[in-house]
Amino acid sequence: MNNIRHIFFDLDNTLWDHRKNAYLTIKDLFIKTNISEEYNIDFEIFHKTYNRINENLWELIRDEKIDKEYLRKHRFYDTFLEFGIDNYNLSQYFEAHFLDQILSYNHLMDGTQECLDYLKSKEYKLHIISNGFQEVTERKCILSGISNYFESITSADSIGKRKPNTEIFAYALDKENANIGNSLMIGDDWIADIIGATNYGMKAIYFNVLDEDIPYSENLDFKTISNLKELQNIL
């Protein structure tokens, strides 16, 4: 990968530990609203249910089957419904405070700081391409102390297209005068990051942080890592 000059990172669960930060935020809200005492629900079971529903909804957004407003209305509402609680106001209380309070936690994935320092020392130009919301993505980078590493932050909201749609990759590369030949995508989502980038013609590195089975790999130009420190052996 000697010709690579531009590295495009996914943000959530690639650099910014969304799983951990979301877990801590939801736990705070769960305790504050006395859900365990009021409805006799175990938090770990609640969180596991929320996580499944939320990830399914994000997959639907990625596939352009729903929009972000649908997700915001349903991820907590549908979670509470699974416990027999039909309370839209309660679910929207969680939603509103979740979006505000998650930025109180800014844990990064293991090795993020060292990885970014290393890549900067090699004079790579670093960028973000995220399927998250633009303002939230920017604030995550600022509050976690990593914003200064990046030349650009591109969110799906910028152009109304989400990974794996090739238009978001084209947009991000074009505005930085990068090209397919000197650009690399790194992310933890097999479909959004790896399938999306390679379909566009970019090289890619799959951050298989959950050690999941790779669905298929024939004719795809990518490498796999299980932790960010491995990038020093590749780049």
Buried b vs exposed e over 25-56: b needs ≥16 C-beta within 10 Å? bbebbbeeeebeeeeebeeeebbebbbebbee
Same domain flag for 173 and 126? yes
The pLDDT assigned to 157 comes to 86
Domain count for the chain, please give it: 2
Considering the domain architecture, whether residues 161 and 92 belong to the same structural domain is answered as no
User: Tell me, what's the pLDDT at 97?
Assistant: 96
Please tell me whether residues 217 and 206 are part of one structural domain.
Answer: yes
Q: What distances in angstroms separate CA 77 from CA 28, 48, 55, 85, 91, one per listed residue?
A: 18, 15, 14, 9, 5
**C-alpha angle 190-195-199 in degrees, rounded to nearest 5:** 170
Question: Helix, strand, coil proportions of the chain in percent (round to 5)?
Answer: 55, 15, 30
Kindly state whether residues 114 and 191 are assigned to the same domain: yes
Whole-angstrom Cα distance, residue 55 to residue 21?
Answer: 15
> Residue 117 maps to which CATH number?
3.40.50.1000
Residue 2's pLDDT is 83
Provide the domain limits for residue 48.
18-104
pLDDT in tens, the chain (235 residues): 889 999 999 999 999 999 999 999 999 999 999 999 999 999 999 999 999 999 999 999 888 899 989 999 999 999 999 999 999 999 999 999 998 899 999 999 999 999 999 999 999 999 999 998 888 899 999 999 999 999 999 999 888 899 999 999 999 999 999 999 999 999 999 999 999 999 999 999 999 999 988 876 667 889 999 999 999 999 9
Q: Which residues neighbour 118 within 8 Å (Cβ) at sequence distance 6 or greater?
A: 231, 232
What is the predicted pLDDT for the residue at 218? 66
- Closest among 7, 211, 192 to 116, alpha carbons compared: 7
Claim to verify: residue 118 and residue 207 sit in the same structural domain: yes
Provide the CATH number for the domain around residue 22: 1.10.150.240
Residue 204 belongs to a domain: yes
- Structural domain ending residue among the three candidates 104, 128, 157: 104
Instruction: Give me the pLDDT at residue 217, please.
Output: 67
The pTM (predicted TM-score) of the whole model is 0.93
Whether residue 117 is found in the same domain as residue 72: no
Return the exposure string of 175-198: e unless at least 16 CB atoms fall within 10 Å of the residue's CB, then b.
ebebeeebbbbbbbbbebbbbbbb
143 and 56 fall within a common domain: no
